[in-house]
Amino acid sequence: MTDVGDLVPGPRILLGPGPTMADPRVLRAMAMPLLGQFDPEFTAIMNEVMELSRFVWQTTNARCFPVSGTGRAGLEAAIASLVEPGERVVVGECGRFGLLLIEIAERCGAEVAVVRGSWGRVIEPDAIRAAVAEKPTKLVAMIHGETSTGVLQPLDDIARIAHEHDALLMADCVVTLGGSDVAVDRSRLDVAVAGTQKCLSCPSGLAPVTYNEEAEAAIKVRRTKIRSNYLDLGQLADYWSPSRFNHHTAPTAMVYGLREALRVIRDEGLEARFARHRRHGDALRAGIDALGLSLFGKEPAQHRLPFITPVIVPDDVDELRVRRRLVDDFGIEIGAAFGPLQGKIWRIGTMGYSARRQNVLTCLAALEHVLRAEGVKSAPGAGVDAAVAHYATSGERATAVDDSLGARGIGRV
């Protein structure tokens, strides 16, 4: 057998669409001693996770807990628990993750009606209205932040339309929770699902979920048994309730990590955190423009994810070679694309702990260097200069030290 040495992964600046760089506070929490799942100390931690989750989700829902699994597990748990075979689901699709919702709903035996939009554009509420008006619909499923295209989908009008037709609204907030406003109660979302590895800056492995009384009632009056035992929200809710139903063994270290990730957000404050994500995303886009690169999508700023920047690959540039050189020469990871956009755009993420001034400036300097080797010319330092100018005009004066302190919840980032 080949000798296996110590595990020492290469250092990386993660600026893709996820995973993001884990907050050091989160990693420290995950190194704490393990507890049994019914140890009073651990059940108290579970209660804290639910309380902190309500703050971040901006909800008073009783049901507010993580599903053990990635964001996709949370989506499957929500759809499988709410929808019975033969019931109708309307899915808004304008990117890769809308396609995922279609597949999950079909696997649950739903009758799926798809409202398709152009990739890079939002789904118009009138299109959803027309779909739900055709026949009785159990669930409308929407992507709040379409990571594959950088689109931020408005949901308030769609929630109103769904409720007017006695349908529930489920929102995929995997990329948006902790990075942009996800106001579950104000937007009247019946079910919302997130992931830990995006704006929460926690390793992948839990899917925060919240749902209201209407969704819980729909689960309780099902005529058929939920097809998945592991992803049964009814049983999971009992596991996270005072009854502590023995459903599965929670990943203790991940629960620690989620607790700390949520606490970091509470310490920073929601509005300050949202502003930080906008500030660093805007600085990156100012630099991208100065490098002579174009953004994918034609939506106005309010319909764009502030922390996912989709950049069109210039003609005659090898997009894979650029990404590989960024990793090999600079230790920077940016994202590729899916489906019809594969090879045509890069996706640069500035999320959670990764959303820091030094990361934005380093990325722009590295990208300029790599693109010059591909024949893309720009004024030396143009990208960095533009980003620095943006920070100056936006009132950003943080140094690398300030970034570090702010990320620990002590100062501003």
CB 355 within 8 A of CB 280: yes
Please report where in the chains the tokens 């798809």 appear, as a residue: 114
Give the total number of structural domains in the chain. 2
Tell me: do 217 and 317 sit in the same domain: no
pLDDT at position 298 is 85
pLDDT surpassing 90 at residue 412: no
Answer whether residue 400 shows pLDDT above 90. Answer: no
- Please give the pLDDT value at position 404: 47
Which of 250, 266, 282 is the C-terminal boundary of a domain? 266
Q: Residue 262 — pLDDT band, cuts 50, 70, 90?
A: very high
pLDDT at 405 over 70: no
pLDDT (0 to 100) of residue 256: 98
Is-contact 137 168, C-beta < 8 A?
A: no
Q: Is residue 49 part of a domain?
A: yes
Query: How far are the Cα atoms of 70, 81, 99, 355, 367 from residue 226, in angstroms, in the given order?
Result: 20, 6, 23, 40, 48
Instruction: Tell me which residue of 274, 382, 358 sits closest to 15, measured CA to CA.
Output: 358
Q: Write the CATH number for 93.
A: 3.40.640.10
Residue 62 in any domain: the answer is: yes
Residue 104 clears pLDDT 80, i.e. is over it: yes
pLDDT attached to residue 397: 56
Res 149: pLDDT: 98
Strands 111-116 vs 151-152: parallel, antiparallel or unpaired: unpaired
Between CA 39 and CA 250 the distance in angstroms is: 12
DSSP classification of residue 230: T
The number of helices, as runs of H, and strands, as runs of E, in the chain is 15, 13
- How many angstroms separate the CA atoms of 122 and 118, rounded? 8
Domain boundary residue among 232, 266, 300?
266
Residue-wise pLDDT for 263-310, tens only, equals 999 999 999 999 999 999 999 999 999 999 999 998 999 999 999 999
Which domain covers residue 336, as residue numbers? Answer: 269-407
The Cα 138–Cα 92 span in angstroms is: 14
Identify whether residues 168 and 143 lie together within a single domain. Answer: yes
7 token code pair: 């595990």
pLDDT at 409: 46
Write out the two tokens for 369. Answer: 């260097």
- pLDDT of 313 > 90? The answer is yes
Are 105 and 245 in a shared domain? yes
Asked if residue 15 is part of any domain, the answer here is no
391 and 244 in one domain?
Answer: no
- Kindly state whether residues 185 and 216 are assigned to the same domain: yes
Residues 355 and 396 reside in one and the same domain: yes
Do 109 and 165 fall within a single domain? yes
Q: What is the CATH number of the domain that holds 312?
A: 3.90.1150.10
More confident residue, 53 or 410: 53
pLDDT tens figures, 117-141: 999 999 999 999 999 999 999 999 9
pLDDT given for residue 396 in this prediction: 60
pLDDT of residue 394: 85
Taking the C-alpha atoms of residue 106 and residue 79, their distance in angstroms, rounded to an integer, is 10
Residue 22 makes CB contacts below 8 A (sequence gap 6+) with: 201, 202, 203, 257, 353
| Residue 174 exposed, middle or buried by CB count within 10 Å (0-12, 13-18, 19+) | buried
Looking at the structure, do residues 286 and 389 belong to the same domain, yes or no? yes
